[in-house]
Homo-oligomer: A and B are copies of this chain.
Amino acid sequence: MGMKKKPATIKEIARRLKISPSTVSRALNDHPSIGLVTTMRVKKMAEELNYEPNQTAIFFKQRRTFTIGVILPSLSEPFFSSAISEIEKVASEHDYTVLMGQSHDDAERELKILQTFKKHRVDGILISLGKNTEDLGFVEMLNDAEIPIVFFDCVPRIDDVNKVYSDLSTGMREAIQSFASIGHKNIALINGPENLLASQERAAAYRKALNSENLEYNERYEVHTDLTEQGNIEAIDKLLALSERPSAIVSFNDFVTLDVIKYVRQKGLVQKKDVFFISYANYPLWKYMENPPMGSIEQYPDQQARKAAEILFKHIGADDDEQQPETVVFESKLVLK
């Protein structure tokens, strides 16, 4: 207790065995040129002294840390927590460790974490951008430092980077088709904040899907929420107030739908009768609900995350950095409940 056992070093082993440190190093690494007896002696002594290589020294010398950095807006959201879980799995399969940070959608914080990671000399970075990130200057910074980076989920619009994300339009298309096929004509969208890329994509997908079904786009059917409970309720209220009330609603995500469902229930409307819901999925537990919405559009965060991590490791492995940037798009899919 309290006794300070200084960790044994190669030098110490060498000293005790009266041989040179380099021999010890080679013996420990099973270098072929070292005699069997010496190798054994060294290993035995290493064992005795409880020798453990000092990784920080090795990192320093080898210029590799066997560490990747992962930046996500949040770790407590189900979408990201399953992503990080999968990323950690892939990393551990590659004998890598994960350094992680949360941006909390704050661009400044995001940048700070990136710099920290760079200082820590991570071998690669995975990032899902925060909602407000505008300045992508760090990409060049990391390029210069030769740290490969893969964007995932919330990716930048620029081209020459690795990115993995899901195409929101396929799921939207299925949702609208699904609604149309059971006779809905008045299909609304409760979208998120207008400045969000995620919202813009949903809006575009919505209009396109309506068009494909030969349904008319009605701008009053497209409302926005700031994603607070209050905002969600205001949004649905706008729709309910319309003279020709929509009978089917796609919403920004499952959390919005949860609030909305609760609210319309209070208003006496019956789900899947008076009004039908589909939303982008970020929450997995509909199966327990007495009266779940019609469906959710899945984005498979774990698959996305795995793919992103695999791409990253492909780039980390390659000595040459002249690889083409890679873009992988997953289709979002409607899953009926």
Q: Which of the residues B1, B59, B75, B121 comes within 8 Å of A81, measured between beta carbons?
A: B75
How close is A216's CB to chain B, nearest CB, in angstroms? 33
> Which of A27-35, A170-178, A287-295 lies on the face that meets chain B?
A287-295
B75 and A121 form a contact (CB under 8 A) = no
Nearest B residue (CB) for A122: B97
A321 and B2 form a contact (CB under 8 A) = yes
C-alpha spacing A265/B258, complex, angstroms: 21
B56 and A121 form a contact (CB under 8 A) = yes
B99 and A67 form a contact (CB under 8 A) = yes
How close is A135's CB to chain B, nearest CB, in angstroms? 17
A322 and B119 form a contact (CB under 8 A) = no
C-alpha spacing A143/B1, complex, angstroms: 8
B76 and A97 form a contact (CB under 8 A) = no
Taken together, the copies of this chain in the complex come to 2
Q: Which of the residues B60, B78, B113 comes within 8 Å of A78, measured between beta carbons?
A: B78
A39-77 contacts to B (CB < 8 Å): 50, 52-57, 59-60, 63, 65, 67, 74-77
Interface bits A146-166 vs B (CB < 8 Å: 1, else 0): 100000000000000000000
A65 and B76 form a contact (CB under 8 A) = no
How close is A270's CB to chain B, nearest CB, in angstroms? 12
Q: Which of the residues B50, B56, B84, B144 comes within 8 Å of A75, measured between beta carbons?
A: B84
Interface bits A1-44 vs B (CB < 8 Å: 1, else 0): 11011010000000000000000000000000000000000000
A98 and B101 form a contact (CB under 8 A) = yes
B92 and A97 form a contact (CB under 8 A) = no
C-alpha spacing A89/B151, complex, angstroms: 23
A85 and B102 form a contact (CB under 8 A) = yes
A119 and B53 form a contact (CB under 8 A) = yes
How close is A114's CB to chain B, nearest CB, in angstroms? 12
C-alpha spacing A321/B85, complex, angstroms: 34
How close is A119's CB to chain B, nearest CB, in angstroms? 4
Please, which residues of chain B bring their CB within 8 A of the CB of A97?
99, 101, 116-117, 120
Please, which residues of chain B bring their CB within 8 A of the CB of A298?
none
C-alpha spacing A69/B261, complex, angstroms: 41
Add 7 more A-B contacts to A53-B119, A76-B78, A290-B290 (CB < 8 A): A54-B60, A55-B119, A67-B120, A76-B85, A89-B102, A258-B288, A265-B290
